Chains A and B, each alone.
Chain A
Amino acid sequence: DVKVTQSSRYLVKRTGEKVFLECVQDMDHENMFWYRQDPGLGLRLIYFSYDVKMKEKGDIPEGYSVSREKKERFSLILESASTNQTSMYLCASSLSMGLVAGELFFGEGSRLTVL
């Protein structure tokens, strides 16, 4: 059974703290993504990676960074958390299929509250 696992379902952090969100996939997928989900805004892409040590900015990268040291693991880092980063964070992965968009497999999400 394919699986994308996010390390924490719920986190509460304080403004200014450094936050790590971890994501691991067991499907040997090349592509990995971090989205945030907010009511009325849908999913917005923060960063993605199409290979180990490669990263590309998505639509809303400000205030975030990522790390991909191993193929199966993609971490999202909030260097100094702020209240406007309170959100649901979704990790996803997909196979590289050239010009064809592969199916995204999602984790269950990490709900982050910044106080």
Chain B
Amino acid sequence: GNSVTQMEGPVTLSEEAFLTINCTYTATGYPSLFWYVQYPGEGLQLLLKATKADDKGSNKGFEATYRKETTSFHLEKGSVQVSDSAVYFCALSDHIQGAQKLVFGQGTRLTINP
């Protein structure tokens, strides 16, 4: 079945460092790809998404490009802030039983130190 693999955390960086969180997927067909973020004590919220190959999703300084040839959707940010500390989840869409569900990776905890 469809699946998502994220780089293991936790990841700890200093403020203004460059961030990459790797995400690769296995899927049949052409899924949409997502990054969700979970800040401490909160539910998940959509960070960005891409719906077809070579699309780039971007939001709040984060970017990810849908790479079909490498089946990847790596999350990047050029200069992280303390407020980016959160758990990040990569996900893909999977059509089942007349509805679209999301399949999530295991999550990567990111801590940014001042």
Contact = CB atoms under 8 A, between A and B. Distances in A.
A63 B97 CA distance: 21
Contacts of B103: 45
B2 to A, nearest CB: 11
Q: DSSP class of B's interface residues: helix, strand, loop or mixed?
A: strand
B100 A101 contact: yes
A99 B101 CA distance: 11
A33 B104 CA distance: 13
Given A108-B42, A109-B43, A50 B97 contact: yes
A104 B32 contact: no
A99 B93 CA distance: 10
Interface of B: 4, 6, 31-32, 34, 36, 41-46, 49, 51, 89, 93, 95-107
Interface of A: 4, 31, 33, 35, 37, 40-45, 48, 50, 56, 58, 90, 92, 94, 96-97, 99-104, 106-109
